[in-house]
Amino acid sequence: MNRVAAAYPHTITAAVCTVLLFGIGCGSSESPQITDSCVGVVDTESLEEAVLHNTDDPLWGPEAEWEIVEEMRFIGGEDSTFFVSVVSIDVNQQGHLYVLDSYTQQISVFDTKGAFLRTVGSSGSGPGEFENATAVDISDRGEIWVMEMQLGKLTILDAEGNYLRTERVNTTGWDFRPYPGGFDPVGRYNAMSLCYDYEEEKTKTMLVRFDQSFTPIDTIAIPQSPYEIDHFEYKDSDGGSYSTLIPFQGTFHWIFSNAGNLWTLYTGTYELVETTAGGTPLRRMTKEHEPVPVTRADRESVRDRLDWFTEIGGTIDEARIPRNKPRIETFFTDDEGNLWVMHAGTGDSNSVFDIFDAEGQFLGETRLPFSLDIHSGVVVQDGLVFGVTEDEEGGAMVVRARIKK
């Protein structure tokens, strides 16, 4: 499954580092094994960058546009109630759906006809139990891999949900949702971990890549935004410092590409860049678009949202708020390598996407007949879209829709 992640404010770099990886099986009497696993050097070879500037005219003709048709909705587990907080979904090779609810710390499994099959896991600290599960991924073998990022704990279950083993990574001690790791499209498992960079002599958060037996392959840097993000800042008389993002700036996101590389998106300029794992740009793509003005209502909403900042003494300098806001919000890829770039707030109950092929050419626009919570995970597989939505009452559920081309 390809998740969307936001990045930290640094540039993309390549590094060789050491991370402590502990192979621990719950119930095992053996001592943890420390492995020097960040041994691979990612490719930083200089390559020629292709640049593509798309107009707002799609390559699709009227008859080539995709139609997205909803097929079914999946709710709750055995009790058929709504999910409370879906944080991750995945789909196996047979088309069975796996839904992780952080409230229950359980995974609900459904077959291709929408029938509930079983519940996997439960809340707890024992083998096969979860305290703070943030991501579920299905391996090529059908195993269920469940990450608890804050604990640095990866639980591996068989296809039926039976406990197999626990692996550990050098945790950052904090949580990040959606989890930016997991299986990439070429089958490597990516785990966020603390690594020591000997060149810079400091510890960094990196992505350690493993094969499907959890043997380390190499380590890559997490893509970072090349753009500065501005803040409103305030210091009180006691020396306390407070900071909040200035709204309506562009945001930076990244995902794994189907070719084994990385795609990044900066929403402020509508720019997509495909890079190697070492950060070398391969292709850069932009798209013409009409600017979206920041309205008076937008500015009033900012004042409401930042009441806490002014109440402690901070000042909102409206001259620093951009005149225009990003047209797009985030993106993901499908199993054919197409890029789906999500429009920011469309003002209705549907989600709208610009579709680009794997080479970065703008194909056209498609509209889903429902609102999609992309941050809980999206899977596009075999002509089907799986994602999280809500009903009129705010009840969370997973929807499946078919792409008619």
For domain 5-404, give the CATH number.
Answer: 2.120.10.30
**Sequence-ordered list of residues with C-beta below 8 angstroms from that of 116, at least 6 positions apart, any chain:** 77, 78, 80, 108, 109, 110
Q: What is the pLDDT of residue 2?
A: 62
- 134: confidence class by pLDDT, cuts 50, 70, 90: very high
The answer to whether 333 touches 255, Cβ cutoff 8 Å, is: yes
Mean pLDDT along residues 84-89: 93
pLDDT of residue 385: 97
The whole-number pLDDT of residue 251 equals 94
Summarised one tens digit per residue, pLDDT across range 177-231 is 788 899 999 999 999 988 887 888 888 888 999 999 999 999 999 999 989 999 9
User: Of 333, 16, 31, 384, nearest to 206 (Cα)?
Assistant: 16
* Confidence bin at 346 (pLDDT 50/70/90): low
Kindly tell me if the per-residue pLDDT of 137 is higher than 60.
yes
Overall size of the chain counted in residues: 405
Rounded CA separation 342/372 (Å): 10
Ramachandran category for residue 166: left, alpha or beta (phi over 0 → left; psi -120 to 50 → alpha): beta
- Amino acid, single-letter form, for residue 398: V
What mean pLDDT comes out for the span 8-36?
Answer: 33
Residue 320 to residues 142, 248, 313, 316: CA-CA distances in angstroms? 51, 10, 18, 9
Quick one: how far is CA 147 from the chain centroid?
A: 14
Domain layout of the chain by residue ranges: 5-404
Report the percent of the chain where pLDDT is more than 90: 70
Q: What is the DSSP string of 43-61?
A: P----PPEEEEE-SS-SS-
Say how many C-beta atoms besides its own lie within 10 A of residue 198's C-beta: 11
State the maximum Cα–Cα separation within the chain, in Å, rounded to a whole number. Answer: 65
Q: Of 222, 188, 183, nearest to 204 (Cα)?
A: 222
pLDDT at 271: 96
At residue 82, the pLDDT reads: 84
Q: Is the pLDDT of residue 324 over 50?
A: yes
Sign of CA dihedral 322, 263, 181, 102: positive
Q: pLDDT band at residue 119, thresholds of 50, 70 and 90?
A: very high
Residues 6+ apart with CB under 8 A from 198: 16, 17, 18
pLDDT at 201: 86
The rounded distance, in Å, linking the Cα atoms of 212 and 2 is 16
Task: Count CB neighbours of 189 within 10 A.
Answer: 23
List the beta bridge partners of residue 193. 206
Give the closest residue to 154 by CA, choosing from 87, 212, 91, 205. 212
pLDDT in tens, 285-298: 999 999 999 999 99
**What is the tens place of the pLDDT at every residue in 24-66?**
333 333 333 333 344 444 444 556 789 999 999 999 988 889 9
